[in-house]
Chains A and B, each alone.
Chain A
Amino acid sequence: MDKNTLLDISDLRVYFHSTHGEYKVVDGVNLTVQRQEILGLAGESGCGKSTVVEAIMRLIRPPGYIQEGKIMFYPSLEANSSGKMVPSDAFLSKHFDHGVDLVTLDEMPLTEMRWKYISYVPQASMNSLNPVMKIGAQMTDVILAHSAFTKNEARQRATEALAMVSLPPQVLEMYPHELSGGMKQRTIIAIAMTLSPQLVICDEPTTALDVNVQRAVLESIMGIKEQLHATVVFVSHDLAVHAELVDRLAIMYAGKIVEVDTVDSLYKKPLHPYSQRLLSSIPVLGGPRVRQEAVLGQAPDRLHWPSGCRFHPRCPFAMDKCREIEPPLIEVEAGHQVACHLYPDVMAGAIPVLNNQKVDHVN
């Protein structure tokens, strides 16, 4: 195992029971997250991106369950020596070298793991602050529940965490309704940072925020990486936000990862036809106004995924093979993985390079 790997997800399957059958919401996800990177997870709604991060936090509740798969987490001692925390728990320190499988971890060590090592900013969480508790009390609650700090130390850490997102200590004495939406979201990010975790998972933290506020929140997230030297998994459907923030991007479609690459190279040269369509439909501010074409066709039915490649009913390049055989995620260039039957043949020059980036239909 590469010693730069923090999280290694292999063949993760999360299903949901229903009277109609099994909803295979996440169906065979393979993904590695490197230390101190911001990894983006993108895809249309219903593709399973939130379910993946809920599985990492082991928050899947019935009727959902983790059918199979491994989520190996390799926390490091070194990263913490620069911070202020040292792992105290005997169970965890025993597992540092060979990693912990979060899927099979018992409830007790899992509770130890949460917040101290992995913290989570759930979707729409800024609206879940307790309206009758002061921010300070809510922050120290988290610290006291997950660490051995005294009340005074906890208060000190809460102040420091607020400072990391540029909020003044007065906020500790305020109630949630006194804060604007952006400040609430930054408070939530501060709560996620209080115990200097090595992995912070943010699920759609900027959705429904105005652009000015969105920028402040994104700058707070950049701060997680820079100030805590932590790793961030950032879930968003907004590809313009990913372009601004993340180092590497994974694109999901129908419960699977279809393409992973560094964000620069992926935006320059998307390989999967779905990624190409998705990236060409980002609305751009300024420049020539070109009429874009939407990703055509219906989103697939989660109860009965299409056979073979799940994108084939909407794919303009679908071949017979695509209807029958599911393409595996293969590495076509260093660090660039794609799950599509067109590759590596296109790369080898057997098929002309696909490019539907711009549809020439001037408005």
Chain B
Amino acid sequence: MSTEMAKPQSLLLDAQHVSTIFGGQGRRTPVVAVDDVSLSIPAAAPVILTIVGESGSGKTTFTRNLLGLTKPSSGTIRYGGKDIYAMSASEWRSYRREVQPVFQDPYATYNPFYRIDRVLQLPLRKFKLATSAEEGRQKMEEALKAVDLRPGDVLGRYPHQLSGGERQRIMLARIYLIRPRIIIADEPLSMIDASLRTLFLNILLDFREKQGISCIHITHNLSTAYYLGGEIMIMCKGRVIERGDMDTIVSHPSHPYTQLLIDSVPSSDPSARWKDRRGLSNAVETATLKTEGGSACIFTSRCPHVMDVCHVKRPTFVQVSPTQESACFLYDKEVVPQPAQAPAKV
């Protein structure tokens, strides 16, 4: 995942060194929500890229940056080579068509006064996807069937008559109708039931296979991320600390934060429970936010391998294995004479 080397025109979506800082005016201390994050989606083949991070890691802010909802403080986001914050009205319209969001809360995305049909009719009209009412109707039904909903069950109903899982799938039906090139899904599973989770993830996989739609999937749940496969980026306090191929990172996590994260995932097998107690940290972790961009590693306070250099210098990405990069000095030849090998499978 060498973003720097790939040619710009071969990239569909390309975010470079994006930072978003909130506050900072007057006496308010600035909060660095997104700190120098880069990401790219190639134009050639559809991919699934998952961004994993705990709450407060800046995932949602970065999503908003990508969707054009919050302008980043610095850095550029290009779509097809054009800066999305400097697009003409028509370019912007096609961007909005080709990059579609699925939001976290299916209870907050619908207008309760309108029937479900409207959610699907609006894009048909707006993007002129159907030439006649009959064709529009057919397309709507096809889209609903693609997400495993029976058109008769949902058309003509109001949002409050549908469950959370049905609402999220209608968002996917809308996406099926629009056929975007990228879906940006921000925690789409957090409000839907476990039994429907698989169905939703399978739809995302089918969209990639059959429709060629790429997906940027944002989650805090590593297990669902693993199910989708593809590539992964781990975020911690606004920064990306490890990125690369999903299977490599899950089986051989290199950054101490990623190791901690993967070790905390419940095993789902009662015979393979956590062997030891991590011991609860009795440090008072206060709910205050990170305020400095900082020239130090952000994980120093909890890192078991912390070194002097970690407090004074910001680690840059080091190639740990052919498909994995880690922002950790443990793997940096200039800092550690004999860099650590990627740790064995955990």
Contact = CB atoms under 8 A, between A and B. Distances in A.
A277 interface: yes
A167 B282 contact: yes
Interface stretch (B7-15, B29-37, B265-273): B265-273
A244 B54 contact: no
A264 B227 contact: no
B195 A283 contact: no
Interface string A145-173: 00000000000000000000111101100
A299 B269 contact: no
Interface stretch (B67-75, B76-84, B283-291): B283-291
A178 to B, nearest CB: 5
A168 B190 contact: no
Contacts of A183: 284-285
B133 interface: no
Interface stretch (B93-101, B173-181, B217-225): B217-225
Given A219-B278, A281-B197, A239 B163 contact: no
Contact of B266 (A165, A243, A294): A243
Nearest to B166: A298
Contacts of A19: none
Contact of A281 (B194, B220, B261): B194
Contacts of A278: 194-195
A284 B260 contact: no
A299 B165 CA distance: 11
B260 A267 contact: no
A179 interface: yes
A180 B285 contact: yes
Contacts of A54: none
B223 A219 contact: no
Residue among B221, B251, B284 with the most chain A CB within 10 A? B284
Given A219-B277, A286-B250, A212 B260 contact: yes
Contacts of B268: 239-240, 243, 282-285
B279 interface: yes
Given A168-B282, A243-B267, A211 B274 contact: no
B250 A363 contact: no
A238 B266 contact: yes
B264 A212 contact: yes
Chain B binding site: helix, strand, loop or mixed by DSSP?
loop
Interface residues on A, range: 35 or more
B111 interface: no
Nearest to A247: B270
B296 interface: no
Contacts of A171: 284
Nearest to B269: A243
A237 B193 contact: yes
Contacts of B163: 299
B220 A211 contact: yes
Contacts of A142: none
Contacts of A282: 223, 268
A248 to B, nearest CB: 11
B229 interface: yes
Interface stretch (B19-27, B198-206, B237-245, B319-327): B198-206
Interface in B156-213: 163, 190, 193-199, 202, 205
B260 A363 contact: no
A132 interface: no
Contacts of B107: none
A180 B282 CA distance: 12
B318 interface: no
Given A283-B223, A286-B226, A212 B286 contact: no
Contact of B267 (A45, A244, A277, A292): A244
Contacts of B261: 211-212
Interface in A211-265: 211-216, 218-220, 222, 237-241, 243-244, 263-264
A277 B195 CA distance: 8
B55 A181 contact: yes
Contact of B198 (A44, A237, A281): A281
A255 to B, nearest CB: 16
B282 A215 contact: no
Contacts of B45: none
A226 to B, nearest CB: 10
Residue among A44, A45, A170 with the most chain B CB within 10 A? A45
Interface of B: 54-55, 163, 190, 193-199, 202, 205, 220-224, 226-227, 229, 250-251, 260-262, 264-271, 273-274, 277-282, 284-287
Q: Closest 5 CB pairs between A and B?
A: A166-B280, A283-B223, A210-B54, A294-B199, A240-B266
Given A178-B286, A179-B286, 11 more contacts: A213-B54, A219-B280, A238-B266, A240-B265, A244-B270, A263-B270, A267-B269, A283-B224, A285-B223, A286-B226, A294-B198
Interface of A: 44-45, 165-168, 170-171, 174, 177-183, 186, 208, 210-216, 218-220, 222, 237-241, 243-244, 263-264, 267, 277-278, 281-286, 289, 291-295, 299, 363
